[in-house]
A and B are shown apart, each in its own frame.
Chain A
């Protein structure tokens, strides 16, 4: 047994060393920048960053947009995934392929497409004015709404793929059994589908939330500097101010937010499963 364990550890050692050198050490070096002030360890950079009203506004905006995108992606993702798993295996493969396709296109190109769609002469405004909902084109671009739409489109495929995978692993007859026992569709979703696909939701939610927090190009192009986000601030601190200490504080905040979201989603999933 000991020999097997030692062998396992020895086999894992190269991968662990690689991960440490390539991922963990650089992140630790970066994060340590934010905890140093003139050579001494200090929380001064954190205090200074969090006590600036502008930074707090940006922090709350980033958190809010990340959460909204994740919730919207979960709602749309479940609807899409449920439709997909009910298709024949051939059509299911085709649909998954179509959903994965946008991931192969640069986020820059996808973001630029939204400038056409959401512009004053774009199809959204044309539709709104033609059905009489608005008299004049709305200013949708360069707003939080535009960033929300851009981020949702960017990360929705990740949620759908996670949920499709989770639904495929769910016992096929669970839904039928619940229906036979008299559950309506809402009860089936809440008491059967959601608990049985919680792993997919946690993975998808974490990917969408983390992606939304750390995306730079979409908020920068669809929001401009009228709608600052944490990642925009981070970029500014590095490229303009050459201030790696503040950038490291922002990076740390983003990491903590991502981990917290993961823990929260796991906790919610576990709580539902125990009920």
Chain B
């Protein structure tokens, strides 16, 4: 009888604790890539730590912002990750609220560029990447962004479409190389249009590029560092350029949804994601470059990521405001001049 009572009591406790765990639920909205690794490294370990349930929604930034807007009055997502221009768009639409950085114990461990990327503590950077030019070192040498237009490379370059994440940063650096770096990107777009027949294609997916490089369709292409690993594995002499005008890139940030129902959990989760332990594990799997400067990586891993204080300091990122305010006009100019 005593045994039965004990077993029943234990079962009741289990049910009660599981019910309690179900009540504590954090809803996050993130990018769809590498979700298996994120689940193992981040979500499952956080669930075990907080005794809560992490509900993950995936999709692109547009879908995410559309969902936040649709549920503005009754938010269903607690925290989201987006690119900096989208975080600014969400700020302007009053969809997110300032982050109380005193609740993030790992905040001071972040590189300065990740601490307050769009101002007002509306976001906090968790990863970034460099953008430069990948090229066949046996065919050509690249020292400047202007080299993309050289006669030697004509007919051998894939240029990112303006609709991709790499398009505007590449145009931004070309503008710098031309000495005409106005946010409207008018001069670089015109230059690309003048040379448009010299480009093999204006790519929409960086996954296309390894195939094109392997088939010798192209010798060079501007890419984000996250795509470098595919090139590094090729049995071809391929280098990552360090142009004299510098490298640009992009950053992904965490945002706190306005009126989030589980703010405390959201803060705990953000802090956990920014911790040295998690950032190291994600970097070791080559998923995200660490925004936490305490992360130490072996050379073989580091060379595939955007890593190290010097490199991070040298990144010349396009201001989120310039991207958000100009992207529609960039698209119109691009379609009219390059897409005709």
Contacts and interface: CB of A to CB of B under 8 A. Distances in A.
B60 interface: yes
A57 B339 CA distance: 10
Interface stretch (B98-106, B172-180, B204-212): B204-212
Nearest to A57: B340
Interface in B103-162: 161-162
A226 B201 contact: yes
A131 B208 CA distance: 30
A141 B200 CA distance: 8
Interface string A111-146: 010011001111000000000000000000110000
B50 to A, nearest CB: 34
A221 B212 CA distance: 12
A120 B216 CA distance: 8
B229 interface: no
A236 interface: yes
A241 interface: yes
A87 B266 CA distance: 64
A188 interface: no
Contacts of A221: 204-205, 208
B335 A228 contact: yes
Interface string A200-239: 0000000000000000000011001110100001011011
A239 B62 contact: yes
A240 B163 contact: yes
Interface string B187-228: 000000000100011111100100110011100000000000
Contact of A225 (B89, B208, B339): B339
Interface string B32-69: 00000000000000000000000000001010010000
B162 to A, nearest CB: 7
Interface residues of A, number: 26
Contact of A242 (B62, B201, B202, B217): B62
B196 A226 contact: yes
A124 to B, nearest CB: 13
B195 to A, nearest CB: 12
Given A112-B211, A120-B217, A224 B62 contact: no
B334 interface: yes
Interface string B301-337: 0000000000000000000000000011001001110
Contacts of A242: 62, 65, 89
A220 B204 contact: yes
B336 A224 contact: no
A104 interface: no
Most buried by A among B65, B162, B335: B335
Given A141-B217, A225-B339, A241 B331 contact: yes
Contact of A241 (B161, B212, B328): B328
A11 interface: no
A115 B340 CA distance: 23
Contacts of A224: 161, 201-204
B162 A239 contact: no
A235 B203 CA distance: 15
A132 B62 CA distance: 50
B338 interface: yes
28 contacts: A54-B335, A54-B339, A54-B340, A112-B211, A115-B208, A115-B215, A115-B217, A119-B217, A120-B215, A121-B215, A121-B216, A141-B200, A141-B201, A220-B205, A221-B208, A224-B161, A224-B204, A225-B204, A225-B338, A225-B339, A226-B201, A226-B202, A228-B339, A236-B163, A241-B327, A241-B328, A241-B331, A242-B89
Interface of A: 54, 57, 112, 115-116, 119-122, 141-142, 220-221, 224-226, 228, 233, 235-236, 238-243
Q: What are the 5 closest A-B residue pairs judged by CB atoms, nearest first? A: A224-B201, A225-B202, A142-B201, A224-B202, A228-B339
Interface of B: 60, 62, 65, 89, 161-163, 196, 200-205, 208, 211-212, 215-217, 327-328, 331, 334-336, 338-340
Given A141-B201, A239-B163, A240-B328, 16 more contacts: A54-B336, A112-B208, A112-B211, A115-B211, A116-B215, A141-B200, A221-B208, A224-B201, A225-B161, A225-B338, A226-B339, A228-B335, A236-B163, A236-B335, A239-B62, A240-B327
